[in-house]
Amino acid sequence: MITRPVLVGAFTKICHRSVREYHLHLQHPVPHYTVPCTPHTPCIFSKRSTNGCHPGACRIWREEETVLLAFIVHIQYSCTHLCLNYTITLVASGHFDKFREWLIHSATRDVRIQAILIAWSFGALIEGLVGFGSPWAYVVPILISLGVADLEAIRVAALANNAPVSYGALGAPIIMLAAVTGLPLLNLSASVGRIVAFLALFPPWLLIYLVSGKEGLKEAWPLAIVASLSYILGQFPTSNFIGPYLPDIVGSLTSFAIILAFVHYWKPKNLRGFGGKILDEKELRSSDVKFTAGQVAWLFLPFIVLIIVVVLGTGPWSPLPKIVLQVFSVKAISSITHKAMAVSFIFSPFVGGTFIFISWLIILAILRPNMQKFGEAMKKSFNQLWGAIITAMFMVALANTFNYSGMAGSLAYAFSQVGWVFILLAPILGWIGVALSGSNTSANAMFGYLQYSVGRLLGFPPYLLPSLGSVGAEIGKPVAPQTASVGVSTSKYLRKEGDVIRHNMGWTLVILF
């Protein structure tokens, strides 16, 4: 468990080493191709060797665990393990199964409405809570049980999961992007949110086409419009005025409410099954399962509690995030700009993860899951996600090496030579990053500061290129090997991730270009 003394000790050790390193730097300037300190990249991992070289790119892998924890704690604390605990509580209490049963009942027998409610709205909710490929794992079995072919169900779940990715796992990719670029979290969330709102206009049209063909799309185009705009109605204001923690959750719940109200009054000309097949009367029989208004409200209660607690705790009106327990500051002279620079380490206990933790405790008290089932669900979920957790930790370490050693600065200078054309390359770089690393969070860790540096060199608005890179990573998520591994875990394509990636590749390139 990461306690305050561990964090304070880690930060103290970091600052002590930083001061010592800066003294060495002032006495012995480093080669021109390294970047020992910038406004956002202090020399905290480097130690000068006896032969005068500057092996900062290697030093991080031999750091004590407290130093490494200090750099990854805000990501893991705010996102991964709390998302895991929150979802485990819903599973162990049986709440999640009831919610899924209600969802299938509400989706009617039309495959287009099923695809929108389950892959688009429900998938966005799972992405917002857990991320890391989990929407595929939850959505694919439901679609298959409703008659969608296995490989096509995976593609529908993957492409529906495009727009929500930047705010997945309660904002993990944006939190990481803000950490490596030093940009204000709320402003960065707003910048990405505006681009995501545009991207979200297209997936519902594609989903309807994939499950029902051209004729099905001609009949159900109003559903595509309502599905995209209803998600944007929740996602856009949340990302712009509250932060990166809740856009997916608010967007998905708003989408649920509006789509269900819409299909209550609107019906397509023909009710169709998978492949555009028109259903006969026998296939149109409704389910005998009925849900009262009180039962539906109970199903949505955990998500409502999460939204209320996080909004009250992290919104601009809350004074709690401004409370700081420890501040450490280090100053030095850069060997690149020859100007004084300062880097501050701030320890604030009231970050997003704290309020997610509080909401989880409230839900735990309300749902009271069986402890035996809770343990089983925790073991199952951990076995599914441990790879993503470990990967995230090492990606933070690798990203710090990449940024602190000067590699990001050198590449940024090279990329800046293409001029304004880099606006077109930024999403492609994000796409490549997620295809290689497996997640938007990892791609932002690796290339976020690079994108930011190119923007500074070219005189672009500071948020533009990092935001485009993050959205490009969204588009590449369907072909990310790590995501595919988690996503196919509940299908017969387990250990056949290559087939899935090849099947998804074409549409991701269409969306990208």
373 forms beta bridges with none
Provide the 10 A C-beta neighbour count for residue 490. 18
CB-based contact 172:441 (threshold 8 Å): yes
First vs last C-alpha separation in the chain: 45
φ/ψ of residue 344, rounded to 5: -115, 140
- Residue 50 pLDDT exceeds 90: no
Q: Which two tokens stand for residue 263?
A: 């299909």
Tens-place pLDDT, residues 308-338: 888 888 777 778 877 877 766 656 565 555 6
**What 3-state class would DSSP assign to 342?**
strand
Q: Could you tell me which residue, 374 or 205, shows the higher pLDDT?
A: 205
DSSP class of 29? P
Instruction: State the average pLDDT for the chain.
Output: 76
Residues 6+ positions from 261 with CB-CB distance below 8 Å = none
- Write the single-letter amino acid at 309: V
Closest by CA to 366, choosing from 447, 301, 418, is 301
How many angstroms separate the CA atoms of 181 and 179, rounded? 6
Assigned token pair, 291: 């849900």
Residue 86: the pLDDT is 60
Beta-bridged to residue 342, according to DSSP, are 331
Q: Evaluate whether 37 touches 334 at the Cβ level (below 8 Å).
A: yes
Enumerate the H helices of 65-202 as residue ranges. Answer: 65-75, 81-92, 95-106, 111-114, 123-129, 134-145, 150-160, 168-181, 185-199
Q: Which residues contact 424 (CB under 8 A, 6 or more apart)?
A: none
Going by C-beta distance under 8 Å and a sequence separation of 6 or more, which residues neighbour residue 230?
254, 255, 257, 258, 259
- Angle of the 293-314 helix axis to the 247-265 helix axis, nearest 10: 150
Task: Categorize the per-residue pLDDT at 63 as very low, low, confident or very high, splitting at 50, 70 and 90.
Answer: very low
Share of the chain above pLDDT 90, in %: 24
- Ranking 22-31, 301-310, 333-342 by mean pLDDT, the lowest is 22-31
Pull the structure tokens for residue 459. 């005189």
Strand locations in 213-338, DSSP E?
Answer: 326-333
Tell me, what's the pLDDT at 490?
A: 64
Is the pLDDT at 251 greater than 60, yes or no?
yes
Instruction: Report the SS3 class of residue 340.
Output: strand
Tens of pLDDT, residue by residue over 181-221, are 889 999 999 999 999 999 999 999 999 999 999 999 999 99
User: Tokens in use for 433?
Assistant: 């990053």
DSSP 344: E
Range picked from 79-93, 124-138, 244-258, 325-339 for highest mean pLDDT = 244-258
The owner of tokens 């875990």 is: 489
The answer to whether the beta carbons of residues 455 and 468 sit under 8 Å apart is no
CB 306 within 8 A of CB 363: yes
DSSP string, 151-167: HHHHHHHHHHTSGGGGG
Asked if 142 and 100 count as a contact pair (C-beta separation under 8 A), the reply is: yes
CA angle 106, 107, 113 (to 5 degrees): 150
**113 neighbors 223 (Cβ within 8 angstroms):** yes
